[in-house]
Chains A and B, each alone.
Chain A
Amino acid sequence: DAGITQSPRHKVTETGTPVTLRCHQTENHRYMYWYRQDPGHGLRLIHYSYGVKDTDKGEVSDGYSVSRSKTEDFLLTLESATSSQTSVYFCAIGGRVDEKLFFGSGTQLSVL
């Protein structure tokens, strides 16, 4: 999958606990994105990064934070997980703004 690794692949957690998902790339791409996929909603952008320490919000950013301290890693944190954050989370990378994205295999997160 184009040098993208998401971890963990599956996670079950309890409401109120913090959760961090990791996206690691070996492509040296500048742009990284976190999406969530839910039935009936397609993919929705949570946060994205356009460089080290440069991040911005997407359309569904409430309850999420991100960090990118080095080019290859983009972390998504749920500070206090809620059941509404049960979803499949996908990381994507891109080298240029007008080209295709490469997606990771996803993380299935269940918040009980």
Chain B
Amino acid sequence: SQQGEEDPQALSIQEGENATMNCSYKTSINNLQWYRQNSGRGLVHLILIRSNEREKHSGRLRVTLDTSKKSSSLLITASRAADTASYFCATDDSSNTGKLIFGQGTTLQVKP
């Protein structure tokens, strides 16, 4: 079963706008990660936030984590056409095996 559920499933915005994607999960975690996938390619890691962190930034990316609500959000500011991709959240299952459980992803389209 899916650990992470992303919302929305699809998002279409204009270049320059901000894009926000949300992720909810079910069980306790050690960390939550966000990955990006361009069409036909493998996943690329974007950012990792640990369970004792509330917010993290990387360039135009901002990730928040609310462990009490079991949810996270990914904000991409000043989006570009090149940000068009699918974005996945992934959580570990606290089994200390490194296994990640992925959500179904959010497909982002940024129109030039």
Contacts and interface: CB of A to CB of B under 8 A. Distances in A.
The range of chain B's interface size is 20 to 34
A50 to B, nearest CB: 6
Given A90-B42, A98-B30, A105-B42, A41 B104 contact: yes
B105 A42 contact: yes
Contacts of A96: 98
A97 interface: yes
B43 interface: yes
B73 interface: no
Contacts, number: 67
Nearest to B42: A103
Nearest to A106: B42
A23 B90 CA distance: 21
A13 to B, nearest CB: 20
Contact of A94 (B35, B40, B98): B98
Interface residues on A, range: 20 to 34
A101 B37 CA distance: 13
A45 B101 contact: yes
A98 B92 contact: yes
B41 A105 contact: yes
B1 interface: yes
B100 interface: yes
Interface in A16-63: 31, 33, 35, 40-45, 48, 50, 56, 58-59
Interface of B: 1-2, 30-31, 33, 35, 40-45, 48, 50, 88, 92, 96-105
Q: List 4 tightest A-B contacts by C-beta distance, closest first.
A: A103-B42, A97-B98, A100-B45, A42-B104
Interface of A: 1, 31, 33, 35, 40-45, 48, 50, 56, 58-59, 90, 92, 94, 96-106
Given A33-B100, A97-B98, 19 more contacts: A40-B104, A42-B88, A42-B102, A43-B102, A45-B99, A45-B100, A45-B101, A48-B98, A48-B99, A50-B98, A56-B97, A90-B43, A96-B98, A99-B98, A100-B33, A101-B100, A103-B44, A105-B42, A106-B41
